[in-house]
């Protein structure tokens, strides 16, 4: 949920833009989470992010296939996993309805936050968040999202460490007097988009991963 709200993050370090300029941040975050965590993590460490531990859904929720009370044929046609996903969705809405305030805790899916390295002293950080339309992340049938920009508030937490004076002086001297450059090794990932004609039933993408996936 936390990452689905965001479609793009602009991150600048000392005025240099280092984040990808793409409005597919929420897809990237979702796919990276699926590939790096399992279902048990969805019940524990991913909970504070608002992770929804269901992945089996019909192509679209409609008034008919969500008509559990009326025992509609399209509801009966859903698989057991899809019915469980719907039930979980209904329970999940209580966290975000009726004026309830809900806090989500997450780390942005940007490489600089996952290097395991500290930023050297004197780095200016600027971040700008671009939000998705609420209709994208509020799953409902025939209902428009009622969130507005003012309903979403972000608080950014950084861990600041105190350095030994000698280390701080040495780092500052190397950067300002000797002109040394700080390097942060990252592995950049990105979302690629493809166009598919509506009359095609099959779409082949040669060399999808551009020989970047290890074997």
Residue with token string 């940007």:
110
Q: Residue 152 pLDDT more than 60?
A: yes
11-45 pLDDT tens trace: 988 888 888 888 889 988 888 888 888 888 988 98
CA distances from 109 to 19, 113, 213 (A): 10, 7, 19
48-62 per-position pLDDT tens digit? 888 888 778 888 888
* 21: alpha, beta or left? (left if phi > 0; alpha if psi -120 to 50): beta
The pLDDT of residue 189 is above 70: no
Q: Where are the domains of the chain?
A: 1-50+104-189, 56-99
With cut-offs at 50, 70 and 90, classify the pLDDT of residue 148.
low
Per the model's pLDDT, the better-predicted residue between 135 and 57 turns out to be 57
Contact 1, 120 (CB under 8 A): no
Report DSSP letters for 29-48, one per residue: HHHHHHHH--HHHHHTTTGG
Structure pTM? 0.68
If one counts every other C-beta atom within 10 angstroms of the C-beta of residue 41, the result is: 14
Q: Name the band, by pLDDT with cuts 50, 70 and 90, for residue 143.
A: low
Q: Is 196 left (phi over 0), alpha (psi -120 to 50) or beta?
A: beta
Give which of 98, 94, 2 is closest to 46, Cα–Cα. Answer: 2
């Amino acid at each position: 949920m936390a990452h689905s709200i965001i479609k793009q993050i602009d991150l600048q370090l000392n005025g240099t833009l280092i984040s990808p300029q793409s409005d597919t941040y929420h897809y990237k975050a979702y796919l990276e989470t699926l590939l790096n965590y399992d279902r048990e993590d969805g019940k524990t460490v991913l909970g504070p992010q608002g992770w929804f531990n269901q992945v089996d859904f019909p192509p679209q929720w409609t008034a008919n296939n969500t008509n559990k009370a009326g025992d509609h044929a399209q509801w009966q046609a859903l698989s057991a996993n899809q019915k469980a996903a719907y039930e979980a969705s209904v329970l999940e809405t209580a966290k975000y309805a009726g004026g309830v305030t809900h806090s989500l805790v997450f780390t942005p899916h940007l490489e600089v936050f996952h290097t395991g390295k500290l930023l050297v002293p004197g780095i200016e950080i600027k971040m700008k968040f671009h939000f998705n339309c609420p209709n994208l992340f509020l799953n409902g049938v025939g209902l428009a999202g009622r969130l507005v920009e003012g309903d979403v508030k972000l608080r950014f937490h950084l861990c600041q460490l105190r350095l030994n004076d000698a280390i701080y002086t040495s780092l500052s001297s190397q950067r300002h007097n000797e002109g040394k450059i700080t390097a942060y090794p990252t592995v950049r990932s990105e979302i690629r988009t493809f166009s598919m004609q509506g009359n095609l039933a099959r779409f082949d993408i040669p060399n999808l991963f551009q020989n970047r996936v290890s074997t």
